[in-house]
Amino acid sequence: MPQKKTIRENIQKLTKGAVNTLTDLILLELLMVGDFLTGPRTLSGVFYHLQKNLQFVEERRLKTALSNTRAKGWIDYHGLLTELGKTKINSKIKLARLGEKWSGAWLIVVFDIPEKQRRARNIFRLYLKAKKFGKFQESVWISPYPRYRSEVESMRNQYRLKPFVFTFLTKNVGGLNPKQLAENVWRLSALNKKYHEYIQEYTNTKVHPLERIGLLLAIMREDPRLPKELLPQGWKGEEVLQIYRHILKRRPS
């Protein structure tokens, strides 16, 4: 058990928390390698490649994980990702893409859910965070996407929160300029600084490729995916997304 924990910790450290299991790490590595493995494409060749790049994993455990990955149908007998495997790993590394065109309206969610409904309150907060709502004030959250209103209303009904959760649409929040409001709520300048620093550093060949991907994904998980109308001048999010695609498509074995 301690050994498994050590492997998991190494995986989390290497990928900055992008993935947590050895099978997911294998899928991520194969996603990055693509068709660039040289020589005959066999499971033995794939194993050799993984062994070279994942030296902190002992041979027996790596063989077992690769075998399980094949048995689950995530890779084929050549060691190529199947559609099922691509779906699995892509679900782990969802990317922040540029948001859709903004309608000019804000969705405001105000809630005050009592302690006796703590479970429902926690679920509701997790939903807001997953949808990248921003915390404007205590128990006041906002989103530039009014379409989420129907989902919030469904949750009000499902968890019996009608007396405690309220939604409304507005084009004016606190009299603030929309871009300034977005900056105040989502701290976009700080995120853009991380993007800029990553762009400057990602070509450092001393950094393990999986670590570069993990760092990038860790930053992109913070991205609220706002409409471009709300982004600051010089926003680097789209450029970083292109770098990610470049790493996946151009990385040699």
pLDDT tens-digit readout, 134-183: 999 989 999 999 999 999 999 999 999 999 999 999 999 989 999 999 99
Instruction: Look up the pTM and report it.
Output: 0.69
Cβ neighbours of residue 183 closer than 8 Å, sequence gap 6 or more: 189, 232
* pLDDT score for 204: 60
- The tens digit of pLDDT for each residue in 112-138 reads 999 999 999 999 999 999 899 999 998
Residue 166: what are its φ and ψ, rounded to 5°? -135, 145
What ranges in 83-236 are assigned the alpha helix state H? 83-92, 118-130, 149-158, 178-186, 188-201, 209-220
Tokens representing residue 107 in the block: 């969705």
Measured between alpha carbons, how far is 169 from 158 in angstroms, rounded to an integer? Answer: 22
Q: Pick the residue with more confidence: 52 or 64?
A: 64
- Backbone φ and ψ for 143, nearest 5 degrees, come out as -145, 145
